Amino acid sequence: MSAPEFDTSQRTEPDPGSEPESTADLTLVEAVRDGLRTELARDDRVLVLGEDVGRAGGVFRATEGLQEAFGRDRVVDTPLAESGIVGAAIGLATHGLRPVAEIQFMGFVYPAFDQLVSHAARLRSRSRGRFTCSLAVRMPYGAGIAAPEHHSESAEALFAHQPGLKVVVPSTPADAKGLLASAIRDPDPVVVLEPKRLYRATRGAVPTGAHTVPIGEAELRRKGSDVSVFTYGAMTRPAAVAAEELAAEGIDCEVVDLRTVSPLDRERIVDSFEKTGRAVVVHEGPRSGGIGAEVTATLQEAALFSQEAPVARVTGYDVPVPLHRNEDFYLPAAVRIVDAVRETVRC
């Protein structure tokens, strides 16, 4: 595949910030498409590549209509080869373009893992700052849609552990567009994990036009005083349901949506914990070595003397994600979060 013949000497500089004039009511997948369309229009260095992203519009229709609008040189259908997709994207990025590579499902990214950790993540340090790799890799992640094996992975900890990679996980349509735009504009590689169970689960107000959300900043979804619930992505919904149920019992939960799992917003995490003194971390990835362990260690290191009870984790289990018959037993449901919060508050 040859690189599009863009004049990279005439570059469009990134907008200084987000100043939306209006909003649109979009689903999360519609917000992803809107974000891609906006960035393709505002910067001719941006291109999209992946399996079926062109004529078919993507397996979840996230790229529907983009090839018709921007042409086959900027919305590129690739062979079914994840290592080739990411490898080609790295080459394009090192020549000044801003590729957005799509992996159809997170469970298929492992052949490309070597490209990400051995090359994309190391270009800045390997070249002592002379080269960067502005690359966004999008992939649907997580369970909850009754998909077969390899279609429900939640392996964000693998990427978060790798120096040189940033990892963002939106939970709202507005954040899906804003974090994606920030990933595309970032000078270094960013993994964008999209919770596919939320693609069409809800709608929300999304700023029209250019819109960014800062990478590395968590968002306070619900203020509370008794216990902090730290979560992200698809798990923000059961966490919110649990918080409302517990409020009826007089337990006031603070819900913090991490939004970026690498780098973590440690300042907001610690600030919340110092206020409540209790914490429950919720994610659907496996428990051992997961993001919850990193949040817990952060609290121990930075806010030990604020701690009123052991930090609890409500997570997936240390097993492959089961097929759909047992999927609900694997995923952290609101009832598991409620039980963990009750236990934490009783300590």
Alpha helices in the chain (DSSP H): 28-42, 66-70, 82-94, 110-118, 123-126, 156-160, 173-185, 236-247, 266-276, 291-303, 327-330, 334-346
Helix (H) or strand (E) run with residue 227 in it: strand 227-231
pLDDT of residue 19: 53
Residue type, 343: E
pLDDT of residue 325: 87
pLDDT of residue 146: 87
| Cα 331–chain centre separation | 18
| Cα 208–chain centre separation | 21
Q: Say whether 48 sits in a helix, a strand or coil.
A: strand
Note whether 210 and 38 are within 8 A (CB).
yes
**Tally of helices (H runs) and strands (E runs) in the chain:** 12, 14
SS3 annotation, 247-311: HCCCCCEEEEECCEEECCCHHHHHHHHHHHCCEEEEEEEECCCCHHHHHHHHHHHHHHHHCCCCC
Q: Let me know if 79 is exposed, middle or buried by CB neighbors in 10 A (0-12, 13-18, 19+).
A: exposed
Catalytically active residues are 151
pLDDT of residue 233: 98
pLDDT < 50 positions in the chain? 1-14, 16-18
CA-based nearest residue to 240, from 310, 332, 176? 332
- Helix 291-303 vs helix 266-276: crossing angle, to nearest 10: 60
CA-based nearest residue to 316, from 284, 291, 281? 284
Structure tokens, 133: 């790799």
pLDDT of residue 2: 39
Residues 130 and 297: their CA atoms lie apart, in Å, by 34
Half-sphere exposure of 142 (CA within 13 A, CB side): 24
CA-based nearest residue to 295, from 320, 323, 273? 273
